[in-house]
Amino acid sequence: MNGKSKHHIPHILKFKTDRIAKEWESEKIPQKLRDTVILGAFYSFTYFKKPLVLTGIYRTPQEQYDIYKDNPAFIESPWKSNHQVWRAIDLRSRIYTPDEIRRLMEVFNSIPYRDGKKKTAVYHKVGDNSFHFHIQV
């Protein structure tokens, strides 16, 4: 980005691609989601000296299909991801130790999810993608 970003915090928040950096600037991202990610970025940098890396924000229907096309449950009854409605962000996890992952999960899940039935943060692997943090509001 060109340094005029409203939401980028240099050194503690990084982006896997230019597309993700541009999506981060979108007003479609709910403020609670943005604040949750920023909280995690400050925590990660303060305690681990590591930037938080955003690896996914918006997902098109085709991208959703490509991820889940080998899942029989999805083929039988496709579901919409929170990414498709700008309510989720994926974060890189491979730079963290197991203890750091646990601690970040505690920080993210200290923020209540909107319905109280799910967690704000999930650490999972989807399709052929690697394990990552999935933050949702």
Number of domains the chain contains: 1
Buried b (16+ CB within 10 A) or exposed e, 18-50: eebbebbeeeebeeebbebbeebbebbbeebeb
Q: What is the CATH number of the domain that holds 55?
A: 3.30.1380.10
Q: Is residue 26 part of a domain?
A: yes
How many residues make up the chain in this entry? Answer: 137
Locate 130 and state its tokens: 């690697």
Question: CB atoms < 10 A from the CB of 120, how many?
Answer: 20
Q: Is residue 2 part of a domain?
A: no
Q: Is residue 5 part of a domain?
A: no
pTM for this prediction:
0.88
Q: Is residue 1 part of a domain?
A: no
Segments forming the whole domain that contains residue 85: 13-136
The tens digit of pLDDT for each residue in 60-118 reads 999 888 988 888 888 888 888 999 999 999 999 999 999 999 999 999 999 998 877 88
